[in-house]
Amino acid sequence: MCETGHPKSGFPSFYDASYHALAIANDCTFITADNRHVSKTAQFGHVVLLKDWQSVF
């Protein structure tokens, strides 16, 4: 997941990727305010933007 991205536009942070990986491993949803993280890692699932969190529940 940390390698998902492009050198020019950047990669997901180690911290966000770690929390996202924990959410995947525990079949939970990672809620983040980082739009860039969501756009780069949406293919892995288990991630939603903070502004959209109510649609998860």
Calpha distance 14→53 (Å, rounded): 22
Per-residue pLDDT at 7: 54
Q: How far apart are CA 31 and CA 49, in angstroms?
A: 6
Which DSSP category does 8 fall into? T
Claim: this prediction has a pTM higher than 0.85: no
3-state secondary structure of 46: coil
Q: pLDDT digit of tens for each residue in the chain (57 aa)? A: 556 655 555 667 888 889 999 999 999 999 999 998 898 899 999 999 999 988 666
Q: Convert 30-53 to b/e letters by CB count within 10 Å (16 or more is b).
A: bbbeeeebbebbeeeebbbeeeee
Domain residue ranges in the chain? 1-51
